[in-house]
Structure 1
C-alpha cells in the first residue's frame, strides 16, 4: 500500500488549479510536477505550487515516475498523455470527458488494462452530498416506478471565453455546451436513473436519444460547435428524460436535476434540495430537507471558476482510496465512458434529425 501518492498533472490550465487545491488538502497526496509546453506558464505554476515543471509529459514521466498522472489537457488531447502514462506504469485520473470519442476512450481503457494501471474519471457531481442522497433514494426504490429523469444546464459563456481558445472547437473540445459544460449532468442523470435498473456494469442506462442542437448566441467565428441543445432520452426501463444544455442563456442560472416516479419526486437546484416528497415518508426526510437548503457559490452558471473544488477533492480522494485498498473505483474507465457514449448519440441524432439507439 502506498501511503503517500506522488501526483503529477499533465496540462496546467484553469481546471488544474482545482486539482492542486484538492491535492493540497489530502494527507496522502503530494504534487510533484506538472507539464506545459509554454515555459513561462510552466515556471509560474512550479513557483506557485512548489513543484517541477516539464515542457512535455513524456519527459515528466521518465524523470519523475509519479504514482499518478492527472490529465487536465484539452479534452481532445487526453489520449496521448494517458497512453504515455500507461507505457510508464503510472496510474491515470483523467478530467471529464475521458476523451471526445468512445473510440479514443477505448484505446485508453485497453492501454491501461494491458499495462496493469488504473484509469479513473472525474465527475465531481457524483461526490456532491445532495446528489449522493438522491442516488441512495433511487437505489433503494423510493421513487417506485421511475417515470422522469431530467437535467437543465441554463448557462452562459461570453464571447471572450471562446476567443483564441480550444473551447468551442471540434478538434479539441469535441462539441460545445453538451460535451464540455453539460456532460456533468449527462453523467449524473444516467447514474441516478441507472440506480433504479438491474443492468450489467458496462451497459448504458440510456437506450435512445433524439436531439436538436444549434449555435444561437455565438457566431461561427467564435465556435465551431453548439451553444444550445435540447435532448429527449428513453432509458432502458422506459423512463423518459430531458436535457437542456446551453451556454447561450444570459446571464446564466443554476443547473437543475429532477427524478420522479409514481411514489415520489426529488429535485436539486445546484446544491439545494428544492423538492423531496415521497408517498411513504421516512423518519429522516425532514432532516434531509433541512440539510440541503442553500447553494453557496455560482456553480459555473456564468463563470467556470466559481465552481467549488470540494467535490474534486472528494473525487480524487476516492480514487486514491481505491488504489490503496485495491478496490473498484466508481468512475473507472468503462463507467466514465458512458457519458461520452450518450453525447455521441446526441450529436448523431441532431445531425441525422432522427432518434439514435445506443448499443
Structure 2
C-alpha cells in the first residue's frame, strides 16, 4: 500500500522508517509547509513533496496518510484526509478536545476509512506478556495499580518548536508523554468512573504542566495511582506499570517500561518466572511499535476489520487526560 506523511517533524522519521521496513508498503508522498523539512524523505525514499495538503490528496495512488503534525492541528487535517477517502494513521493524542475527536471519528465513519491512533506501547513484548497473564485470570480480582512516568525533557526539548508545551497544540506531560501509559492503564483496568488530580509547572518554562499526580477509581472498584513528570534530572528515571491482584503482583518497569521488574503469582514457580523474564530480556523492544501500528492498519484495510488501536481508544485516553486537567484546575474529584 502507498503511504503519505503530513508533518515532517521528529516523529515523522519513525513513520517513514516503519513504512520502509514493511513489505509491499511504500512512502510515496510527504507534505509540510517547510520545504527543507521534506528534503530527507525525498532523497531517502523518493517521496513526492507537497506544500499543500489538498494537492497531495489529489494523488489517487495514496492509500493511507500518517498525520504527524502538532496535536492541535489533527482534527482539520484528519477530516480533510477522510473526505479524500484515505485511511488514517494518527499520532497521539488523537486531538486536544473531545469535540475535535468526535469530528475525526465521524469523518472516518462517514467516509468509510480506517482510523488508527498511535499508541504503540501496547505492542511491546513485555506488555503483550503482561496482557496474556492478565487475561488468563492468574492475578485474580484486581485491587489497584500504579502508573509512573518520571522522565526528563529539558528546556532545549521544549524550545525546539514554538508549539511544544502549549495548551493549544501540545499539552504537558500527561497529554504528550504519559498518555501512552494511561492508554495501557485503561486497556488493563477498564472504564474510569472518578478521578482526582493535582499538577504543577515546576522546572520547565512552558504553559502546560511538567509534573502531575492523580488517582483513578474504575468501574470495577479498583483504584490506580498516576505520577508523571518531565522534570527528572538528568535523564529518564522510571516508566512503569504495576498491577496488584488477590493472587499476584506484576510490575513492568525500567527507564522505558521494557522489562519485568517483579513477578509473583500464585502457582508460578521460579522456573516459569525465569522463563518469562528471560524471553523478554532477549528482545525487549521487539518489532518497533510504529511498524506494528502500520502493519496492523494494512491488515485492517485488507480484511475490513478494525485497527488494534481505534479512534475510540484514542478518545478514551484523551478523556482521561482532560478529566485530570479539569480536576487539577477545579481542585475537585471529577465524575465520569
Into which bin does the TM-score normalised by the smaller protein fall? over 0.9
Deviation, 1:65, is 4.7
CA distance in 2, matches of 1:67, 1:187: 27
Deviation, 1:256, is 0.8
TM-score relative to the length of structure 2: 0.94
Once structures 1 and 2 are overlaid, which stretch shifts more, 284-293 or 343-352? Answer: 284-293
Deviation, 1:165, is 2.7
Q: Which residue of 1 aligns with 2:110?
A: 114
Contact map agreement 1:124 1:315 (CA 8 A) in 2: yes
Q: Which residue of 1 aligns with 2:276?
A: 288
Structure 2, unaligned stretches of length 5 or more?
Answer: none
CA distance in 2, matches of 1:28, 1:20: 14
1:299-318 alignment runs, 5 A limit:
310-318=288-296
CA deviation string 1:23-48 (max 9, x = no partner): 11100311001100002222343123
Deviation, 1:114, is 0.6
CA deviation string 1:270-305 (max 9, x = no partner): 2111111111227844311221237868xxxxxxxx
Contact map agreement 1:272 1:295 (CA 8 A) in 2: no
Q: Which residue of 2 aligns with 1:95?
A: 91
Deviation, 1:240, is 0.7
- Given the alignment, which residue of 327, 332, 336 partners 2:310? 332
Over 4 Å off, 4+ runs: 294-297
CA distance in 2, matches of 1:323, 1:227: 38
- Given the alignment, which residue of 308, 316, 329 partners 1:351? 329
Residue 155 (structure 2) pairs with residue 172 (structure 1)? no
CA distance in 2, matches of 1:57, 1:254: 39
CA distance in 1, matches of 2:88, 2:276: 35
Residue 36 (structure 2) pairs with residue 40 (structure 1)? yes
Contact map agreement 1:22 1:309 (CA 8 A) in 2: no
Deviation, 1:309, is 7.5
CA distance in 1, matches of 2:287, 2:76: 26
Residue 264 (structure 2) pairs with residue 277 (structure 1)? yes
Deviation, 1:73, is 0.5
Cα RMSD (Å) = 1.7
CA distance in 2, matches of 1:147, 1:294: 31
TM-score relative to the length of structure 1: 0.88
Between the two proteins, the alignment pairs up a number of residues equal to: 330
Contact map agreement 1:271 1:294 (CA 8 A) in 2: no
